[in-house]
Structure 1
């Protein structure tokens, strides 16, 4: 009887364990999906993460966008000096920002400068327990995550907030002094770029970098040998002490020469695009920043091939069948008779239907329908919305075949300069009407050119590992822009490639300022002769709904249609 009871108890225990295991599998995502979609988990998952000590540190995973190598300041095999008796190659940062603060490009530049100038054995990133930099809702400021995936010796050091930060949210000098006495090396404020380390800086017992007329207890830069580090960062008694002035840079004096300085304090927000403006060529600070990010002082830009590399064909994506509308019909006519492509391929799971489609098949022998299954997954992630399926199919088509791609609501207004066919990839920015700050800009891939297997489309498809179904602009607008920011040599931006029209107003993609773009939109005569293509994202203009209405209209949009019909011999 006792043996039977023991067996019964064991069976009950076994069943309970089995039920718990099944519930666990049903309740929690796999480790892969958990890590992959950490940013998008629900409130329950977030509360579970918060309840586990250091879960945010251990489980962080985010988008990685192929940064340049972070070890050398250029792309050569520079020899790294062996350790000496000087200041150790160790860097200390302290993050005292509030819980919702973001790690910006300026912060990123400070850390990358320390990596490339000091070439550290370790970087200690001291932060409040369970508080690391946040990512904005548009997923632009992923710089911290990219550092974690790019530099292997970035150590996250959780600390008590009261130990590392003052009541006003600034790093405590006493904490920094203790870390330097223990580990040696250099402390840097996260707005400070170190410009030089070898030689006099590295050989000093103590080195400081301060802004003129700033009496803060904690300088922007402070380094020392462990045995020479003062208890309260007061170096007055140290014999071999070097004190340097840091250059203060804001939006007014960003063009100042940095030669002769050991450090720069950035008080103006930078983004990578600002390093690519032609007016920054030759400016010493921008040269330094470009060398940090791109490995070269010159402005990186795509180089055209001696011959055309973009096939003279056009592609559309059309899933689900259904009637071809009139703008789609005009779009096909425009690539055939204005751009004069050799063939038009319409890819989809079912061909279009309706009178416009039948008319094309009868009149235009260069138009071909190509069966392409609608993507339902990419890298194992579900693709649901038809717009996302079209985006996924587009980059696959451009990667494999190259050519000219148009959305079905875009038409060519002017012929393409054949010099564009010499580039690996050609795109344009989106309208500044919808700022996704802190994104400086985003791409609109409704009109693009590409050669087959261009590096841009290869990286774009690779980054679809981080596809996200719930965000309309992440996959198609923001991801390609982030790739370009880090690899500007891959893409030629043609500012006049397309004009984005929304709610019957057209916003130019060739101006940087939103207010200026809105002013141009109010006066169509300021843009009518500039764009190569016009892209009506929503809605379709009333005078473009059918051919009869368009032929009887004299509106600006209707005149674009008139020109297409004239080029096709249908006027």
Structure 2
């Protein structure tokens, strides 16, 4: 009976596979071997997808390649047990194959996945296999793939010529075929490596997946040298039936040091969107991991207070350029007068400097003659990084950054009115700014730099000015609103976000920055210009809660257009005007 069922001179496929695994020190459990029996009951398939070298390595948008996005991805604090130990050469193949499938945006989640390859596995070669190169969203938030292109010297792009569906079993076979000769690692989308694989180096084969039945390529596979194509295909059904799972973010956060953690926490599944703001200061274990991947440091990141109350001088800066007015110097209005008075007598600035290429004109400018106000002549900035600056708002931006960087102080737009004093403690941070109110496409947040507090030689301002290496003179938002926020994502410890710094007002309604932005709808500057800004949805707030109000449209509320309007007005803006005149001792203008 025994001889009838087993032939010692011709072992079965199961026996041969057991022998191979046993001889290589495999730790694959008996349950997996049982699954292998199921796997061998199905037909074997050949891999037939061809891979060819992408010689041009061009992205969908050539213009995006012009963005200066290089980051140092190789300097990080050591984390034993997470980053692999390569203190001496070994026989493990140090090539990682990453698979990108479909026509879509390469988001921050995907970026974390590739960063985990770089920091945990430290490959000698990272091959980015793609069916289509990543797309770029309309407002250019998701430029993470372009960062990789500029920052990873051993990144190789290869296009897959296959008709297989993304996440299909056939696509998994294609991925495994990449490892059939030399071995190495395969990493799919939606996976972050969370532990060193040092203890797996002696195994012939190891894998973990998120949910292979839903996406057969969202996982990690390690193959040692010597596995041929047919042997790898034997494992396809094993993966489909009995693959160890990567942990969810919640499960990873709940893990404590245990045998279970050692065996099953080598990878984390990213099912929900993650942004740099989510990992910056959180003390969750996953935030620590993501922070180490993105910033190279494990501890929560905060903007450190200097301990001084005079790090930033109490001086105020405005810009005033003739290019704003085709007739030359634009008129200095009553609303501008109120703004300057508020800087001196409400915010508590010692002196106001107006930087421009022409002296303001008008009776209200003349009224400031007895105040601590000085006009500083500056030339129009002709260029930034050898790129012409023609749009007036961009000229103002270039001047404000340079002035603040040189002198320090508080900058505010001419359509900003202070309603509370700038507290001493706020002047102890290197730079202070406020989130923008409207939402912009894929951007999780943006900054409104219509009010900035900064010390001399502010690191944040230096970083912002460096983003002007790529300059869009026809798109004010990109350089003035979007890229400063990207700078904050890159260097979060250089900027303190004060959500009470300003409320942004449009069409008579002011939007405090501490309210959560409704990301289901997008309100941009063009919407504001077209009276389409969802103003009626802004929640009520008290002026005692904010330091300044910033008028987006109209630039001058009707009730702040003249002393008569302030006196007769009954809305919040008239109240602000009367308050500023009272604080500055100019209530005589209301008589």
TM-score if structure 1 supplies the norm length? 0.81
Aligned equivalents of 2:378, 2:166: Cα separation in 1: 61
Deviation at 1:527, TM superposition (A): 3.4
Matches within 5 A, 1:74-473: 74=78, 80-86=86-92, 88-98=93-103, 101-128=104-131, 131-162=132-163, 165-166=164-165, 172-211=171-210, 214=213, 217-218=216-217, 220-228=219-227, 231=230, 232-235=232-235, 244-249=244-249, 255-257=253-255, 260=261, 261-276=265-280, 280-281=282-283, 283-307=284-308, 308-320=310-322, 321-361=329-369, 363-364=370-371, 366-431=372-437, 434-473=438-477
Q: Secondary structure at the match of 2:575?
A: helix
Distance 1:498 1:357, change over 3 A: same
Aligned equivalents of 2:159, 2:202: Cα separation in 1: 31
Distance 1:229 1:235, change over 3 A: farther
Say which is worse superposed, 350-359 or 67-76, in terms of deviation.
67-76
Q: Secondary structure at the match of 1:301?
A: coil
Preserved CA contact (<8 Å) 1:73 1:117: no
**Structure 1 residues 158-197: Cα deviation after superposition (integer angstroms, max 9, x where no partner):** 23243xx437788712321221123421111121011123
Deviation at 1:254, TM superposition (A): 7.9
Aligned equivalents of 1:171, 1:237: Cα separation in 2: 11
2:516 maps to which of 509, 512, 534: 512
Deviation at 1:80, TM superposition (A): 3.9
Which sections of structure 1, spanning at least 5 residues, go unmatched? 1-51
How many positions carry a matched residue from both structures?
501
Preserved CA contact (<8 Å) 2:97 2:186: yes
Deviation at 1:351, TM superposition (A): 1.2
Q: Secondary structure at the match of 2:484?
A: helix
**Structure 1 residues 472-506: Cα deviation after superposition (integer angstroms, max 9, x where no partner):** 20111001100101111010000100000012111
Q: Does 1:548 pair with 2:570?
A: no
**Structure 1 residues 44-84: Cα deviation after superposition (integer angstroms, max 9, x where no partner):** xxxxxxxx973725966243456453354549999743331
Matches within 5 A, 1:15-54: 54=56
Q: Secondary structure at the match of 2:181?
A: helix
Aligned equivalents of 2:363, 2:79: Cα separation in 1: 58
Aligned equivalents of 2:256, 2:185: Cα separation in 1: 21
**Structure 1 residues 424-480: Cα deviation after superposition (integer angstroms, max 9, x where no partner):** 10000011xx32120011100001100111111111111111111121201110011
Preserved CA contact (<8 Å) 2:434 2:448: yes
Aligned equivalents of 1:172, 1:200: Cα separation in 2: 28
Aligned equivalents of 1:306, 1:171: Cα separation in 2: 61
Report the counterpart of residue 551 of structure 2 in structure 1: 536
Deviation at 1:296, TM superposition (A): 2.3
Say which is worse superposed, 139-148 or 152-161, in terms of deviation.
152-161
Q: Secondary structure at the match of 1:387?
A: helix
Say which is worse superposed, 385-394 or 105-114, in terms of deviation.
385-394
Aligned equivalents of 1:337, 1:447: Cα separation in 2: 17
Report the counterpart of residue 560 of structure 1 in structure 2: 576
Deviation at 1:375, TM superposition (A): 1.5
Q: Secondary structure at the match of 1:204?
A: coil
Say which is worse superposed, 183-192 or 261-270, in terms of deviation.
183-192
Preserved CA contact (<8 Å) 2:419 2:549: yes
Deviation at 1:305, TM superposition (A): 0.9
Deviation at 1:291, TM superposition (A): 1.2
Distance 1:254 1:566, change over 3 A: farther
Q: Secondary structure at the match of 2:476?
A: coil
Deviation at 1:407, TM superposition (A): 0.2
Q: What's the C-alpha RMSD, in Å, of the aligned pairs?
A: 3.0
Preserved CA contact (<8 Å) 2:435 2:448: yes
Deviation at 1:234, TM superposition (A): 3.1
Q: Secondary structure at the match of 2:179?
A: helix
**Structure 1 residues 328-368: Cα deviation after superposition (integer angstroms, max 9, x where no partner):** 1111101111122221110011011000000102x21x200
Preserved CA contact (<8 Å) 1:91 1:123: yes
Deviation at 1:525, TM superposition (A): 4.7
Preserved CA contact (<8 Å) 1:70 1:150: no
Aligned equivalents of 2:228, 2:448: Cα separation in 1: 54
Aligned equivalents of 1:424, 1:549: Cα separation in 2: 39
Deviation at 1:243, TM superposition (A): 6.3
Preserved CA contact (<8 Å) 1:211 1:220: yes
Report the counterpart of residue 73 of structure 2 in structure 1: 69
Q: Secondary structure at the match of 2:422?
A: coil
Deviation at 1:397, TM superposition (A): 1.1
TM-score if structure 2 supplies the norm length? 0.79
Report the counterpart of residue 25 of structure 2 in structure 1: none
Aligned equivalents of 1:437, 1:412: Cα separation in 2: 30
Distance 1:169 1:470, change over 3 A: farther
Q: Secondary structure at the match of 2:331?
A: coil
Distance 1:169 1:54, change over 3 A: farther
